[in-house]
Structure 1
Amino acid sequence: MLTVRFAAFFTCIGVIYGHSGYRDMIPNGYTLPNPCVTGELWHGVGHLNPGGGGDTNHFGIDFANQGRMWANVCNMDSDGDGMTNGQELGDPQCMWTRGATPARTTGLTHPGFCDTSSSQTCAGLITAPCTSSKFNCTATTETGVQKQIMKIPRTAVPDKETTYVCMTFDLDQSQDYHLIATEPEIDNVNVVHHIILYGCGDNAPVITSPQECGQSMPACQEGIGFWTVGMPGQCLHKEAGFRIGKTGYNRVLLQFHWNNPERTSDKMDGSGLSIYYTSNLRPNDAGLFWTGETNLVIPPGRSRTVVESMCPSRCTNKILSDTIYIIGGFNHMHYRGVAQTVELFSGGERRYLTNQLNYSYDNPKSMTYDPPVAIRRGDSLKTTCVYQSLSATKTTFYGFSISNEMCYGTFTYYPKRASSNSNCVTWKTINNCDVEGGAIMGCRIAEFFNNSHPNTKMVMDKVLDNCNPFGGCRQECPAAIAEAEKHPCLVKGVIQDYLLTLRSRNPDLKTTKFVAAFGSCSCKKDDDNGGFPTHTGGTASVDALVSTVVLAFCTVLLL
């Protein structure tokens, strides 16, 4: 019964941290104290929705009648500690309405966690994860360590759910340094989803004010710092640092993901990162390494959807020139994610690099490996992500919005020189390590994405001349599709699915019509795609075509 009550409260309330509007739906939503860290506010309420969430439409909440919604849960005791939710949140009589001042603004306790400071024992009840949000990195106090604060000017957040903005910052080029730590400088906690710090090449543009930039910048591709909701900061192992300065990166790019699900026009943000760097160089240069899956199809109403991704031995043999040593790691999913592991298989033995059976997007767990963990050529890694979509009414796909999902394991390693690629990420059975010299399985990707290239133009024209992009199968279309499938980028099977999915993200009209025409002739049920229909005759899945397949946080295809 405790689990039912616990679920009911937060299914109604929703993801409070991820969507600022949800915090307006409960009394004292912005001033709830951390149940186990004195003097701090709690920012992890959103994780407590066991049904998953992240999209306001996935909760069945009547947003035109928020007062009635709070009244429905006010008298519940979600954590089983003997106090109603209203008593804990300062509305014991359940009279509060949205926008009003609660009856009590002090003496608050958490409605979803039993308060260990109270008189009762909390035995057998759910208690909060007692971790501080304060950044603690002793290396930042060492002699010679310098700090640079990099923040964007306060800027209006667009009235759309997902926005990416970028701005560059120049670094000290007088000598070489190692970046050893990053600390978030968060201005508006209610809109910032994550921040990535990229190292930029010599040809990187100068961006002196925040500009919308999509998910990646070709000239700034290597991640050297990362913050997401709930992370206090990054503190690197004593053996390594990211090289910046004279022979390292002398310009960096901050990329911000703003989340504005209410699509209001009254939000501002001026967040950023502080970097700590030192001229006392550490023994090794550091790098970032990613594993995970980008083909995500999570049906609604499921208690459990499991996604697996393998970084096989063939890939570590290609990617690694020598043994690397990982010194830190963390998992990354969004609000439907409930569990994630990354396993290392080496020398006939298995080791969990991450093992979060109760994953929380709002309260990520950073792993520190001391001593560092070796990954050798020929080793393999398995990433497993588990999602819960009981509250969802629509299928969830891979994407950058928090109403979409991700599945990544991220690791800091050294020495950087021992790895030729920053990730080992899959799309179904295709791994990024299979892309060599801009080609995969005989398909020259840049040529296939160039509508003017003679081979690409011939195939596209053949399909568009014989197939109907607006529905209905023309009699001459199957023969045209069969002819098109002789092109190495359209060989029937996973390669065709993958590349047509990528092509579907191209906004030009001809590409859109081509992809639609290619799938116009036949349809079957695809059990490998969660039972959703897949257009065939050698075509890409409809669901895959609407999901984002561009790999996150780095440019992985030479387009």
Structure 2
Amino acid sequence: MIKIHYDNPRLTSNLRDSSGIRFYLGNELRQYDLSYLVFGTLSSPESLAIPPNAEQFIVDSYCPPEATRNLPASGINIVSALPHTHLQGISVWTKLIRNNTAVQYLFNAEAFDFNHQFANRLPTPIKIYPGDAFATRCIYSTKNKNNITLGGKRTIDEMCSHTFSYYPIAESLTACLTAIDQTAWQTIMKTSLPIDNVKLEQWLHNLTWTSNSVAQWQEFYNEAQRFIMYDRGSYMEFNVLPTIPKYEDLQIEPCNRKEIQHSNDQLCHESNDSIDIDYDRNDSYRYDQDDTLWDRYKYIYIRGLMKVKG
């Protein structure tokens, strides 16, 4: 399946799309079938309601151990990651939680840019086993917005999605997504009546925002009850998550700083980075074959800043 989204906010006429897809056929069947696993939130107003003029607004989702209960006992292998938000997203990460302890990042797009999105091939596959859980966080900045941003498919709407490719294929789980539960919305809207998306959108658009109300909205998102949707391929399951569970987080290690010739600036990267980025004596970039395009882009961007500073 191929899915292409089009956006023409200026309603420009006579536009043509020349996008395409190229297929390669092999003579021998591959040993494994590749499949996809998606974490994050549903793309709807009940999932994402991001206030304006916020430096950072955090949306957390959590996929509990029961989601992976039917994975093969031998596990599956995560090989690539595709983080995705729209224009307001600035960071996306997913952590692997095992026995209530964060083991590692599945992938950390700490500096996400909507205009530079691609699948990131992991240098080493990450093994996932039955009973593993996952914490996903999307961070948004809305300093350039005067109105609330809601979840949806349009570019001006928002999404929180982290897609991973893996093998061998396990049809017991294709997505684990959350949304704020109906009871949480009823509580904050002070009503006992059922709430549909039309009523919710109207109520959200009528809110008045101040720095205090933005902070209160963040607290609401931090503590609100959620419902979870498990897409198990041939059927759906739903469950309730009273709050985002607490877990023992990763230990933060100090950066290894390396001086760059002809500059007082310093770059550092976490000691547990899985990609080797280094600099030679001529201050030129040296990358490994497994480096992603994003790593190379970051270097070009940093070098540009250094040249501007002189």
- State whether TM-score is above 0.5: yes
1:327 corresponding residue in structure 2: 79
Compute the RMSD of aligned alpha carbons.
3.0
1:373 corresponding residue in structure 2: 126
Aligned partner letter, 1:546 = E
Q: Is the 8 A contact 1:316 1:377 kept in 2?
A: yes
Q: Secondary structure at the match of 2:23?
A: strand
Deviations 1:91-137 (A, max 9, x none): xxxxxxxxxxxxxxxxxxxxxxxxxxxxxxxxxxxxxxxxxxxxxxx
2:137 corresponding residue in structure 1: 384
Deviation of the 1:544 alpha carbon: 7.5
Deviation of the 1:423 alpha carbon: 0.7
1:312 corresponding residue in structure 2: 64
Q: Is the 8 A contact 2:51 2:149 kept in 1?
A: yes
1:100 corresponding residue in structure 2: none
Deviations 1:157-176 (A, max 9, x none): xxxxxxxxxxxxxxxxxxxx
1:400 corresponding residue in structure 2: 153
Query: Higher relative contact order at CA 8 Å, sep ≥6: structure 1 or structure 2?
Result: 2
1:299 corresponding residue in structure 2: 51
Q: Does 1:493 align with 2:200?
A: no
Deviation of the 1:546 alpha carbon: 3.4
State the distance in 1 between where 2:138 and 2:102 align: 21
2:106 corresponding residue in structure 1: 353
State the distance in 2 between where 1:401 and 1:384 align: 21
1:428 corresponding residue in structure 2: 180
1:93 corresponding residue in structure 2: none
Deviation of the 1:317 alpha carbon: 1.2
Aligned partner letter, 1:425 = L
State the distance in 2 between where 1:372 and 1:288 align: 14
Q: Secondary structure at the match of 2:68?
A: helix
1:284 corresponding residue in structure 2: 32
1:536 corresponding residue in structure 2: 191
Deviations 1:495-515 (A, max 9, x none): xx6xxxxxxxxxxxxxxxxxx
2:217 corresponding residue in structure 1: none
State the distance in 2 between where 1:259 and 1:535 align: 36
Q: TM-score scaled by structure 2?
A: 0.59
Identify the range of structure 1 (365-374 vs 394-403) with the bigger mean alpha-carbon deviation.
365-374
Q: Is the 8 A contact 2:61 2:136 kept in 1?
A: yes
Counterparts in 2 of 1:423 and 1:542: CA distance versus 1, 3 Å: closer
Q: Is the 8 A contact 2:93 2:109 kept in 1?
A: yes
Q: Secondary structure at the match of 1:314?
A: helix
Deviations 1:490-546 (A, max 9, x none): xx726xx6xxxxxxxxxxxxxxxxxxxxxxxxx87x2xxxxxxx2512432767743
Q: Is the 8 A contact 1:535 1:541 kept in 2?
A: no
Deviations 1:203-261 (A, max 9, x none): xxxxxxxxxxxxxxxxxxxxxxxxxxxxxxxxxxxxxxxxxxxxxxxxxxx33211101
Counterparts in 2 of 1:321 and 1:543: CA distance versus 1, 3 Å: farther
1:168-317 pair list within 5 angstroms: 198=1, 254-294=2-42, 295-317=47-69
Q: Secondary structure at the match of 1:277?
A: coil
Deviations 1:245-299 (A, max 9, x none): xxxxxxxxx3321110101222122322112232322221111110001200101
Q: Is the 8 A contact 2:83 2:163 kept in 1?
A: yes
Counterparts in 2 of 1:537 and 1:427: CA distance versus 1, 3 Å: same
State the distance in 2 between where 1:291 and 1:305 align: 18
Q: Is the 8 A contact 1:289 1:411 kept in 2?
A: yes
State the distance in 2 between where 1:539 and 1:269 align: 43
Deviation of the 1:321 alpha carbon: 3.8
State the distance in 1 between where 2:199 and 2:48 align: 8
State the distance in 2 between where 1:337 and 1:397 align: 12
State the distance in 2 between where 1:282 and 1:346 align: 31
State the distance in 1 between where 2:76 and 2:199 align: 34
Counterparts in 2 of 1:542 and 1:369: CA distance versus 1, 3 Å: closer
Q: Is the 8 A contact 2:85 2:159 kept in 1?
A: yes
1:82 corresponding residue in structure 2: none
Counterparts in 2 of 1:543 and 1:359: CA distance versus 1, 3 Å: farther
Count of residues paired in the alignment: 204
Q: Secondary structure at the match of 2:62?
A: strand
State the distance in 2 between where 1:361 and 1:555 align: 32
Structure 1, unaligned stretches of length 5 or more?
A: 1-197, 199-253, 430-491, 498-522, 527-533
Q: TM-score scaled by structure 1?
A: 0.34
